[in-house]
Amino acid sequence: MSLTNPPSTAAGPGSVSAVRNQALKRSVQAAFEDSADRGTGSMGYQSKVRVTDKYKVVGFISSGTYGRVYKALGRHGQTGEFAIKKFKPDKEGEQASYTGISQSAVREMALCSELSHGNVIRLVEIILEDKCIFMVFEYAEHDLLQIIHHHTQNPRHPIPPATIKSIMFQLLNGCQYLHTNWVLHRDLKPANIMVTSGGEVKIGDLGLARLSYKPLHSLYSGDKVVVTIWYRAPELLLGSRHYTPAIDMWAVGCIFAELLSLRPIFKGEEAKMDSKKTVPFQRNQMQKIVDIMGLPTKERWPLLTSMTEYNQLPTLQPPINHSGGHHGHHGHHYQAPRQTGAGVSHLEKWYYNTINQQTSGSGPGSGTSPLSILGAEGYKLLAGLLEYDPEKRLTAAEALQHPFFSTGDPVSANCFEGLKTEYPHRRVSQDDNDIRTSSLPGTKRSGLPDDTLARPVKRAKE
């Protein structure tokens, strides 16, 4: 955002550089002070509270569809760190105009004002200043995307099993709270799962969330595309006109798999809408799911034939048949299914290959993988979350009671407990137009260290 007039042509190169540097230093703080950006009408409205009176903005964190997020410190006795989300104005042509508040912003403000749970990000306050809305949240130093990325760096090393258990338990706890209160998140992915420096996991970014209690119309009619493509449930991909909290649980299963393997389990490419805004069948993404889960069948999913895109399933390739068994460490044994066919799932094979994978310096003894301790219960939890039939898929309440959490060491409320190393702090930029804030599937924030993301460079439309 440019906040100064361009220098006159008479100015020398040195003065131009000085002006440019000064503008860059002021860009973040001035984003909150620029009256032209907010609009000042003839009404002469003055808000009771100015954002910059209560908070000192220290840097830019990320940019999303509906606004920008900044890091701030409290002023005047209000201690601590905060994340401030500034909603963007609507744009018509070259000029920014104010045509009202987006439905997404209204929902997010309404829901966050009512929600209160240790595993859901806390809204501190909402400030209306002139025609700009600021949502002030508690600050979280990390997110799951950042943590996963850290473990992909050389030497590549798995996330400790105790950390994975704690993250999953806290994530499910937050989901149970949302679902009990009839809230669907509809965009769960690693970038939207915050983690505080004290190891508390908090579900964030409720921009796509909505109440599901007694809807007047099908959920599809309100928002035709929900959930980032890699975490989108099969019933959504197959065009279901109504859906349940089970779509969030599929996403949680995808996140669990990503914590284990450090890469998205179903990493497809999203087909874009045509000029008539027709929602296309996401063939590539569905194929990625079929490659591991097998083709869905009427036996596994009785309501499958009622799906709008059911007739597209024959166009998909059945998964490649792998013969033979896989022997895991510590007595874990995977035997390939005797039955053959397109509907056979290879998820169990994927799971044991993943947790028994050798990594440099892994395990207390030679030849051991630290994740192997998760054993059969880890597979059962994963399979329950990645169940094709949404009616059979584990609910958050059922998943919290799963033996995965009651076997072995007790689950810690601090997912960092016992770790010898610290995760790098979120990168906070002084440049409001940082190019690394582009949205990719699963990535929506720039809070990663300065090394490059282990993600595709190609930008996909969310």
Q: 3-state class of 275 per DSSP?
A: coil
Strand bridging mode 193-195 / 201-203: antiparallel
DSSP string, 328-362: -GGG-EE---SS-STT---HHHHHHHHHT---TT-
Give me Rg for the CA atoms of the chain: 24
Task: Assess whether 187 carries a catalytic annotation.
Answer: yes
Angle between helices 144-152 and 246-261 (to 10 degrees): 20
C-alpha distances in Å from residue 453, one per residue of 62, 149, 421, 438, 456: 15, 7, 21, 12, 8
DSSP string, 53-92: HHEEEEEEEEE-SSEEEEEEEE-TT--SEEEEEEEPPEEE
Q: Which of 187, 205, 248, 432 is catalytic?
A: 187
Closest CA to 260 of 336, 160, 346: 160
C-alpha distances in Å from residue 256, one per residue of 233, 251, 316, 447: 14, 9, 26, 21
C-alpha distances in Å from residue 198, one per residue of 69, 201, 202, 264, 423: 21, 9, 11, 26, 12
Q: How far apart are CA 422 and CA 420, in angstroms?
A: 7
Residue 345 structure tokens: 């799932």
C-beta of residue 244 within 8 angstroms of C-beta of residue 396: no
C-alpha distances in Å from residue 173, one per residue of 81, 195, 205, 413: 25, 14, 17, 11
Residue 214 structure tokens: 């007694």
Handedness of CA 201, 206, 208, 213 (dihedral sign): positive
Residues serving a catalytic function are 187
